[in-house]
Chains A and B, each alone.
Chain A
Amino acid sequence: MDTVADQTERLGKLEGMGCSRKRREDPRFIQGKGNYVDDIKMPGMLFGVMVRSPYAHARIKKIDTSKAKAHPGVYAVLTAEDLKPLKLHWMPTLAGDVQAVLADEKVSFQNQEVAFVVAEDRYVAADAAELVEVEYEPLPVVIDPFKALAPDAPVIRDDLQGKDTGSHGARKHHNHIFNWEVGDRDKTERVFADAEVTVKQDMLYPRVHPCPLETCGCVASFDKIRGDLTVYITSQAPHVVRTVVGLLSTIPESKIRIISPDIGGGFGNKVGVYPGYVAAIVASIVLGRPVKWIESRQENLTTTAFARDYHMTGELAADKDGRIKALRVKVIADHGAFDACADPTKYPAGLFHVCTGSYDIPNAFVSVDGVYTNKFPGGVAYRCSFRVTEAVYLVERMIDTLALKLGIDRAEIRKRNFIRKDQFPYATPLGLEYDSGDYAPALDKVLAAMDYQGLLAEQAKKRADPDSPTLMGIGICTFTEIVGAGPSKNCDILGIGMFDSCEIRVHPDGSAIARMGTITQGQGHQTTYAQIIATETGIPASMIHTEEGDTATAPYGLGTYGSRSTPVAGAAVANASRKIREKARQIAAHLLEVAPDDLEFDLDQFRVKGVPGKAKSMKEIAWAAYNNVPPGMEHGLEAVDYYDPPNFTFPFGAYMCVLDIDRHTGETQVRRFYALDDCGTRINPMIIEGQIHGGLTEGFAVAMGQQMPYDDEGNVMGSTLMDYFVPTSMETPKWETDFTVTPSPHHPIGAKGVAESPHVGSIPCFTSAVVDAFSHLGVTHMNMPHSSYRVWQQCQALGIAN
């Protein structure tokens, strides 16, 4: 006993935190045995298809459903008129607005839901949908949010006319949703007035779409006899969906069961409740049969939850040495036709106020105006935490701009402004408290790994050569994320605090089942949660079954988005595990006939301090929990924990990108991309690396090609994967990853969350690199996407394309 080899063997068997345990999810996915919503088949199941508007803005003069209803195999055709008696033709959004389930007298974006055709299968439904005749009277379209605020702009939301107050305060125009301000305006203005140097930059973070591989969909099944409603749904927040469905339908939540089966990626697209879900549920209640609704790719890309669309103006005030004194930001936020953002109630611009970034900026003021346009609704966090991507992009662009203006190296200016390690916990001027960080060593590690000085020398040589066919760009980003929403004092959704939960039951044989309020969509929860439990309880990870996504069995939780699973549910997992461990200690003491304090926890057993060989394994303790517990103790070995985090967590990273641009074609070749992430305590390094590769790839996609373009009539132009850029392995650069570890001081295991950092951090890094390639020619900013076409236009404008 107790040899090093023995310890190593037991540690290996445990597969706890810190080991690269292989993903438990993979065997079923690799073998095609996943169970996605569209795999669900129920007896008597019908299929629903949406009839959608070809117009971006139009009055509906008439809907004739008679031909569709007469089509063989059609069971129902629903319109707003059919939903009105149930008061379900409109539904509340998570942002405090309302959204038409089926268009009520007018449509306000292209592909808006107009009618729902239910038929015996999806083929009949598609044929019948073409037979629904809708007469439209086109109205003037407004796509540009600035034009939407013009006095004579078309009224997008007739239903809100006369309402000068929305759920986030005063509305100053018929297309205005809210104004949200944070920070000290007056003080910031005074600092700007007295500043030695100021810089200002307009930038657009374009409208993009999370584009998960699996589109949205559901199967709704109402049992008329029992009065039960079961909905299989591709949801990142099944418990919230249950509450929303309960509110809408007046069915008690105890009779509603929401099941998120395997999910083929979410990235924020699967947080909200969509008209298709409501229509399928209503159809099932009316018809008493299960109804399936599955989006096509085009429907997914053009109707369900986009991200970003932030028109931002940033300003920095600084001294001549580049020390930042103040940040001022103005945002016009295009929310589309309905405000369906998924943000904590208090924050209509999400956590955008993390925009002071990794820098010790004493003064800041931010003003965000939400605006309606004739575009599809959304504004979700696409692989980020509530507008953090926009915030980080802004501050990273601004500090680059300041460096350029002052002629200070971009790495150097960051170091001059970093929040120092001894300043944590650090209160920002916009009201956040960063938990921990150690920024300068992370950047130094990256600069050394990339030979930054060597790169600068090479770049200088290239710039001096007028015949060089390529332009070389070096990008830097030193970001701070804010994840783990969130403390219930600040964060709720529909009034429900953003806690999360875990329930663990240890069986007599020492195996266990654990259920959480979150839901994995590729994050590998089944693998990593078990590792936390293994380390905390001593039960081998291979003996722990984890289960999420079924509201009938899992404890209530707010779901998985905004990198909140590890910071919030992961903490609940650790705390529930510790409750188990404490009870196990009592049982072990009883079995060993010693006081609990005489015991120490040792990997997978409790042993008597100072008495070698006197110990009880967790397996033995689990058995005893069912037959030999101390007097007065309840049998069983179970625990539940609902964790309300005291604060957010603040992961950070330092990224560098080197790329070469062909000035004749505008093509960009990423030569190296180095990503150093600090996500606090690391649970599974292999999964972290996979998450980082995925986030970087999606960041590359956004920066280099993704955009949801519109023409003047409000037609969505990029509605297929031919035009909407999802990179393949051929386009994707090779990623180099690295890490430092700065644990979160307030999280039970010190973990901060990681999946979104690479997305948040890489995007400004790519822009930094592309702009840097042109910065010696006077360019200070270029809007995304940095496609060959757009980069070539920059070359053309500078006269260097030929």
Chain B
Amino acid sequence: MIPKPFEYHSPQSLGDAVAMLQQYGDEAKLLAGGHSLLPMMKLRFAMPSHLIDLNRIPDLAGVSESGNEIRIGAMTTENQLIWSELLQRKLPLLVEAARLIADPQVRYRGTIGGDIAHGDPGNDHPALMLTLDASFVLAGANGERVVPASEFFLGTYYTAMNPDEIMTQIRIPVPPQGTGWCYAKLKRKTGDFAAAAAAVLLQMKGDTCTGVAIGLTNLGPTALRASDAEAALTGQPLTADAIEAAAQKVMAICEPAADLRGDETYKTAMAGEMFRKAIRTAMERCTR
């Protein structure tokens, strides 16, 4: 449980950090909250020669509103998400989900940007970002670019980020007034990754679904967006049969990896179950 020796860097500006990334290339890793990277280093699964700590760079954390968009600094911690009054009002889905991530101590260190950029389908933010139609601001030597979440997650631990880029901000369009939400997560205990989890954002008029977004955590090589299920529900009355048909479509796209949390059959069934739970709760929270 002792990492390989490494050099620690603490850049004071984004420019310095980008320059270091360019200088050290593959030898370097970015340190945000460290709750994925440091355990991997201690197990010597990850052995970077240079660790570039982003915690001293100003202005990378915080939540703000710009027009119809919420902007969250990549270094914003889970607890800061939970405590943000703005998020509680405008993006309660994110607050609900952050409360289910790890445990209170970890949430003081773990950051939204680190959670996303790690590309781990077991992390919760990737599915939430897909559900929320988020986009990510990536800073590199040639300036900034903005990548939508739908184009970001390419495989397990594999994202659209270039090795010399740093995620600086997450941008999320504010869902329409009256949108219902829920993040349903099944886990063995506090601090565990999800055996299965589903995020739902839902708009309704009367009994009819006018818009729905569904994201899935830890049910495939990347976080998943259940587009077929969304299409099947949109424009339909949300009857028990409609929800069940959608649940079948949710389960159809799952390819979970078997582990001690359960085999593929169990995890896929739980994906359906978490979806059912999430959409029922979201319906209750909808203003119609």
Contact = CB atoms under 8 A, between A and B. Distances in A.
Nearest to A129: B2
Interface string A633-675: 0000000000000000000000000000000110100000000
Nearest to B265: A796
Interface stretch (B11-19, B145-153, B189-197, B211-219): B189-197
Contacts of B89: none
Interface in B171-194: 186, 188-193
Contacts of B4: 127
A705 B186 contact: no
B103 A722 contact: no
A122 B1 CA distance: 10
Main secondary structure of the interface of B (DSSP, over half): loop
B245 to A, nearest CB: 14
Most chain A CB within a 10 A radius of its CB, from B2, B186, B190, B270 = B2
Given A788-B195, A789-B261, A725 B269 contact: no
Contacts of B5: 123, 127
**How many A residues touch the partner, as a band?**
20 to 34
A288 interface: no
Given A788-B195, A792-B266, A705 B188 contact: yes
B273 interface: yes
Contacts of A717: 260
B260 A718 contact: yes
Given A709-B260, A723-B260, A788-B195, A664 B190 contact: no
B190 A665 contact: no
A731 B190 contact: yes
B206 interface: no
A130 B266 CA distance: 39
A730 B260 CA distance: 21
A788 B186 contact: yes
Interface in A658-717: 664-665, 667, 705, 709, 717
Given A717-B260, A723-B260, A122 B188 contact: no
B195 A730 contact: no
A126 B269 contact: no
Nearest to A793: B266
B189 A667 contact: no
A130 B270 CA distance: 41
Contacts of B103: 728
A296 interface: yes
Most chain A CB within a 10 A radius of its CB, from B189, B195, B261 = B189
A801 interface: yes
B260 A728 contact: no
Nearest to A731: B189
Given A723-B260, A728-B103, A801-B269, A788 B2 contact: no
A243 interface: no
A788 B188 contact: yes
Given A123-B2, A789-B261, A789-B266, A664 B273 contact: yes
Contacts of B188: 705, 725, 787-788
Contacts of A130: 44
B107 to A, nearest CB: 13
A728 B191 contact: yes
Contacts of A508: none
A104 B88 CA distance: 62
Contacts of A788: 186, 188, 195
B262 A789 contact: yes
Interface in A746-788: 787-788
Contact of B189 (A296, A298, A705, A796): A705
Contacts of B44: 130
Nearest to A297: B1
B186 A665 contact: yes
A727 interface: yes
Interface string B98-122: 0000010000000000000000000
A792 B186 contact: no
Nearest to B189: A731
Contacts of B265: 796
B2 A789 contact: no
Main secondary structure of the interface of A (DSSP, over half): loop
Contacts of A667: 186
Most chain A CB within a 10 A radius of its CB, from B1, B4, B44 = B1
A240 B267 CA distance: 49
B184 to A, nearest CB: 10
Interface string A296-307: 111000000000
Contacts of A727: 189
A728 B195 contact: no
Interface in B1-47: 1-2, 4-5, 44
Contacts of B273: 664-665
A298 B190 contact: no
A730 B190 contact: yes
A793 B267 CA distance: 11
A296 B1 contact: yes
B120 to A, nearest CB: 13
A468 to B, nearest CB: 16
A709 B260 CA distance: 9
Contacts of B260: 709, 717-718, 723
A792 B190 contact: no
B195 A789 contact: yes
Interface string A212-229: 000000000000000000
B1 A725 contact: no
A126 B2 contact: yes
Interface string A171-201: 0000000000000000000000000000000
B269 A792 contact: yes
Contacts of B190: 728, 730-731
A723 B261 CA distance: 8
Interface string A556-597: 000000000000000000000000000000000000000000
A120 to B, nearest CB: 14
Nearest to B191: A728
Most chain A CB within a 10 A radius of its CB, from B188, B262, B273 = B188
A665 B268 CA distance: 11
Nearest to B2: A126
A689 B54 CA distance: 47
Contacts of B266: 789, 792-793
A730 B189 contact: yes
Contacts of A298: 1
B2 A665 contact: no
A727 B191 CA distance: 10
B263 to A, nearest CB: 8
Nearest to B103: A728
A6 to B, nearest CB: 50
A801 B273 CA distance: 10
Contact of A665 (B191, B261, B270): B270
Contacts of B2: 122-123, 126-127
A576 to B, nearest CB: 44
A587 B265 CA distance: 79
Contacts of A789: 195, 261-262, 266
Contacts of B189: 705, 725, 727-728, 730-731
A792 B260 CA distance: 14
A731 B190 CA distance: 7
A439 B1 CA distance: 50
B154 to A, nearest CB: 25
> A-B pairs with the 6 shortest C-beta distances?
A126-B2, A789-B262, A296-B1, A730-B190, A728-B190, A723-B260
Interface of A: 122-123, 126-127, 130, 296-298, 664-665, 667, 705, 709, 717-718, 722-723, 725, 727-728, 730-731, 787-789, 792-793, 796, 801
Given A665-B270, A789-B261, 19 more contacts: A122-B2, A123-B5, A126-B2, A127-B2, A127-B5, A296-B1, A664-B273, A705-B188, A718-B260, A723-B260, A727-B189, A730-B190, A788-B186, A788-B188, A789-B195, A792-B262, A792-B269, A793-B266, A796-B265
13 contacts: A130-B44, A709-B260, A718-B260, A722-B192, A725-B189, A730-B189, A788-B186, A789-B261, A789-B262, A792-B262, A792-B269, A793-B266, A796-B269
